[in-house]
Amino acid sequence: MSFKEDCKKYGVVLEGRWEQGTDHHPEANQSLRELYDLDFQEYNDHFSWSVGGDGDNGEILIEQYSVILELRDAELKEKYPDAFEKVKELSEKNNVSLLESALSIIQDK
């Protein structure tokens, strides 16, 4: 399937996210801020990411990565509905990634 078809299937907003008030995926914000820092500190600002303005290359990257993560979440929720909801709830409560929440559940067993 294409991204457009997947987005339609799962109700993920692909185009016009800003205009529709669709927030960035929280993991996209965190991961890409780390990518910006890594690029600037260790790679001499190779990509010259610009963040903070509508339509700059950093904002577009966060928007695109948000779509990827939202599709991933939708696919996981479809495959593991009960477990996904439990992990998502814990993730939001503790303000950590879905992966970290899942690992904490496994470790606590």
pLDDT in tens, 10-41: 999 999 888 899 999 989 988 998 999 999 99
The residue range of the domain holding 49 is: 3-78
Determine, yes or no, domain membership for 103: no
Count how many domains the chain has: 1
Determine, yes or no, domain membership for 12: yes
Write out pLDDT tens, residues 40-51: 999 999 999 887
Determine, yes or no, domain membership for 29: yes
pTM for the whole structure = 0.85
- pLDDT the model gives residue 101: 87
* Residues 74, 85: Cα–Cα separation, whole Å: 11
At 64, is the secondary structure helix, strand, or coil?
Answer: helix
Determine, yes or no, domain membership for 96: no
Determine, yes or no, domain membership for 9: yes
* Residues 79, 15: Cα–Cα separation, whole Å: 25
**pLDDT surpasses 80 at 84:** yes
- pLDDT the model gives residue 12: 97
